[in-house]
Amino acid sequence: SFPHSCSTLGGKIAALCDSFTSKSLKEHVFPPLIDMLIYFNFFKAPFLVDLKKPELKIPHTVNFYLRVEPGVMLGIWHTVPSCREEDAKGKDRCWYEAALRDGNPIIVYLHGSAQHRAASHRLKLVKVLSDGGFHVLSVDYRGFGDSTGKPTEEGLTTDAIRVYEWTKARSGITPVCLWGHSLGTGVATNAAKVLEEKGCPVDAIVLEAPFTNMWVASINYPLLKIYRNVPGFLRTFMDAMRKDKIVFPNDENVKFLSSPLLILHGEDDRTVPLEYGKKLYEIAHNAYRNKERVKMVIFPPGFQHNLLCKSPTLLITVRDFLSKQWS
């Protein structure tokens, strides 16, 4: 009846009010704020890009979607090696999928926070890798670009695992490398640790501008440094990080890995300072039984956080390391 419906609705509203007022303002504000600062996925630049048409941004590339779990569909661009550009003309997704078995190595690219797979610095890296003979799968995690779902650490980790497993199932004996940049380094090591525990260590891992863990990286993030001296800020900030289970513990994950691990860092990276990359390398080198499987390369000033792709030595550095590990 109408009176009964009103009573039910009133009860729900009262319950919501009780739920809201029973929590402090910081409990309502901080977790969403933390999500915003960590993932920045609401900033979907470049704008007005049709992610279904990658060919308008980069050649010999196809767009497709991968369902990783109910309600979560990931948008992915597959760019084939430039040497296959002529072969790729006019081909559909099925051809691209079959091409994963052509013997050219494959990189699953896990980007950093903000923007999406069409961001200019990401496209520049993809072009460098494609020209160097790599397939590149550029993944937008849940909640990024046109991918559905809401980003969480567990969710992004699941996304990376599913894409890696999907790729391995189609690549035959062709090796597949997880490449993480910034936030993506935490996603990569999280996924690699899970796969290691499953008895399926990834073929290789490249960490570009990595941090030790998100707690340390966040409190030193330029946007947050100005608030560090505000009474109670750091404690409230850390409580919110724990509540949302945001850690991305690269420093702990690398202790359990056996995959070839290449760490790349720029000297003048102010977003994730070089000291974090050096510390992570030290932890990994100490933990790995086979020390030759861990390497760090430091790039001279000029490339900052996002532009190692402009270094003339990047491609040869990556190819030399992977070819040695995969020989």
- 221 with 45: CB under 8 angstroms? no
Asked about 131 being catalytic, the answer comes back as no
Sheet holding 176-181, edge to edge: 61-69, 72-79, 135-139, 106-110, 176-181, 204-208, 261-266, 294-299
**Rounded average pLDDT over 7-30:** 51
pLDDT of residue 263: 98
CA angle centred on 39, ends 37 and 45, rounded to 5°: 100
Asked about 269 being catalytic, the answer comes back as yes
In eight-state DSSP terms, residue 201 is: -
Residue 21: which pLDDT band, with cuts at 50, 70 and 90?
very low
Domains and CATH numbers, the chain: 23-326 (3.40.50.1820)
Q: Is the pLDDT of residue 276 over 90?
A: yes
Asked about 78 being catalytic, the answer comes back as no
pLDDT in tens, 197-207: 999 999 999 99
- 187 with 248: CB under 8 angstroms? yes
Percent share of the chain, pLDDT over 90: 79
pLDDT of residue 222: 66
Comparing 110-114, 244-248, 289-293, which segment has the lowest mean pLDDT? 244-248
pLDDT of residue 10: 53
**Per the residue annotation, which of 130, 147, 171, 182 is the catalytic one?**
182
Q: Is the pLDDT of residue 141 over 90?
A: yes
| CB neighbourhood size of 128 (10 A) | 19
- DSSP H stretches of helix in the chain: 2-21, 25-39, 85-88, 93-99, 120-131, 153-168, 183-197, 214-219, 222-225, 233-243, 250-253, 274-287, 314-326
**Per the residue annotation, which of 113, 181, 269, 311 is the catalytic one?**
269
**Rounded average pLDDT over 222-248:** 78
pLDDT in tens, 296-319: 999 999 999 999 999 999 999 999
Mean pLDDT value across the chain = 91
- With tokens 């190819």, the residue in question is 319
- 260 with 321: CB under 8 angstroms? yes
| CB neighbourhood size of 262 (10 A) | 23
Q: Is the pLDDT of residue 83 over 90?
A: yes
**Rounded average pLDDT over 280-293:** 98
**Per the residue annotation, which of 78, 135, 265, 305 is the catalytic one?**
305
Alpha-carbon span 106 to 96, nearest angstrom: 12
What does the DSSP assignment read for 248-281?
--HHHHGGG--S-EEEEEETT-SSS-HHHHHHHH
Q: Is the pLDDT of residue 33 over 70?
A: yes
pLDDT in tens, 113-138: 999 999 999 999 999 999 999 999 99
Alpha-carbon span 96 to 69, nearest angstrom: 23
Residue 236: which pLDDT band, with cuts at 50, 70 and 90?
confident
Higher-confidence residue of 223 and 170: namely 170
Residue 2: which pLDDT band, with cuts at 50, 70 and 90?
very low
